[in-house]
Amino acid sequence: MESFFKTDFIFPGQTSKYIGKVRDVYTINDEILVVIASDRISAFDIVMPKTIPKKGQVLNQISVEMLNSTKDIIDNWLISSPDPNVSVGHKLNPIKIEMVIRGYLSGHAERLYKLGNRSICGVNLQNGLVSNQKLNEPIITPSTKADNGHDEDISKSDIIKQNILSIDQYEEIEKITYKLFERGTQIAKDRGLILVDTKYEFGYDKNDKLYLIDEIHTPDSSRYFYSDEYEEAFHNGLQPKQLSKEFFRQWLINQNFQGKVNQTLPEITQEIIANVSFRYIELYNIITGNPFKPRESTDILEEIESNITEYFSI
């Protein structure tokens, strides 16, 4: 078994299970989360029918390292990682907003800009920008965190107007978002990469203390360019070489699929699967500075279940 699509475990003290686009989340005693990163891949908020080998392990291990490298900025939900695909952490009250921060005009923002939008989530952009251009300063373009369906762009003013957050809460999160992006940018720079854009999620504990939750600085939550090739590609009007899930999104777009009504999902070939898997592993090697070590088990699910059970029995 080189990859797995889903899990179906029952752990002692388990009170609920939630299946996300990529992760299976088990709640233990209503206070601890066991988050298992599967090899599912999603695009345009749609889970693809085929898995990407090693993807879940890459995501989990990068996120664990990045969460540990930002604990001086803000406490996070993580307690331990008892398995390469698993993180165990505190159950918190999640804020239903993703803080998307962008240093370059790329991805979703670029697509909106090309459609003529000059205000994204209440942030005004100047005329004359071109694809993948570095912005004068990073901008935050929040989105709603949908339980089902598509996330939606939202402005700071609407977040406050809809009482999702108070102005003081938002500005605290905004300040931390800039600090996290600055740290992520420096880590990427040290590895020969450019952190183009990313997103952060937050939650409160029962005492209203703020925590960083979910994954950070992974290929699913972030976009990276190779710094040594960016300038030449940009000035020649070419797409900079990048390490992120955007490669897969662009392949789907080229096949006339963006998750819209009446569009047919193209056949995801083994070549595409192998290419995406390679890019995830490549990013792990670069961003961590360590060679990726794939798990050796012949039964991934059995090993995951065993490692989690052993962790809680100690």
Count of structural domains, the chain? 1
CATH label of the domain that carries residue 160: 3.30.470.20
- Beta bridge partners, 198, equal 101, 222
- 168: domain range? 94-243
Q: Is residue 160 part of a domain?
A: yes
- Geometric angle at alpha carbon 88, from 224 and 62, rounded to 5°: 20
- Beta bridge partners, 121, equal none
- Beta bridge partners, 300, equal none
Here the tokens at position 54 are: 């090693």
8-state DSSP, 153: B
Closest CA to 101 of 109, 111, 112: 109
Q: Is residue 127 part of a domain?
A: yes
Mean predicted confidence (pLDDT) in 96-112: 96
Confidence of residue 148 (pLDDT cuts 50, 70, 90): low
| Per-residue pLDDT at 133 | 97
CB-CB contact of 197 with 101 (8 Å): yes
* Percent of the chain surpassing pLDDT 70: 98
Residues shown for the chain: 314
Question: Over the stretch 62-82, which tens digit does the pLDDT of each residue have?
Answer: 999 999 999 999 999 999 999
| Per-residue pLDDT at 241 | 86
Assign 115 to helix, strand or coil: coil
Closest CA to 4 of 215, 309, 295: 295
Q: Is residue 188 part of a domain?
A: yes
Confidence of residue 314 (pLDDT cuts 50, 70, 90): confident
Report d(CA 282, CA 279) in Å as an integer: 5
Q: Is residue 61 part of a domain?
A: no
Flag whether pLDDT at 92 surpasses 80: yes
| Secondary structure E strands in 179-253 | 193-204, 210-213, 222-226, 242-244
Q: Is residue 45 part of a domain?
A: no
Flag whether pLDDT at 1 surpasses 70: no
CA dihedral 108, 242, 53, 264 (to 10 degrees): 40
Q: Is residue 156 part of a domain?
A: yes
Q: Is residue 115 part of a domain?
A: yes
Q: Which residues contact 4 (CB under 8 A, 6 or more apart)?
A: 38, 39, 51, 56, 300, 301
| Helix %, strand %, coil % of the chain (to 5) | 35, 25, 40
- pTM across the whole model: 0.90
Which one is predicted more confidently, 60 or 146?
Answer: 60
Mean predicted confidence (pLDDT) in 114-130: 96
Q: Is residue 163 part of a domain?
A: yes
Assign 10 to helix, strand or coil: coil
Here the tokens at position 114 are: 């090309």
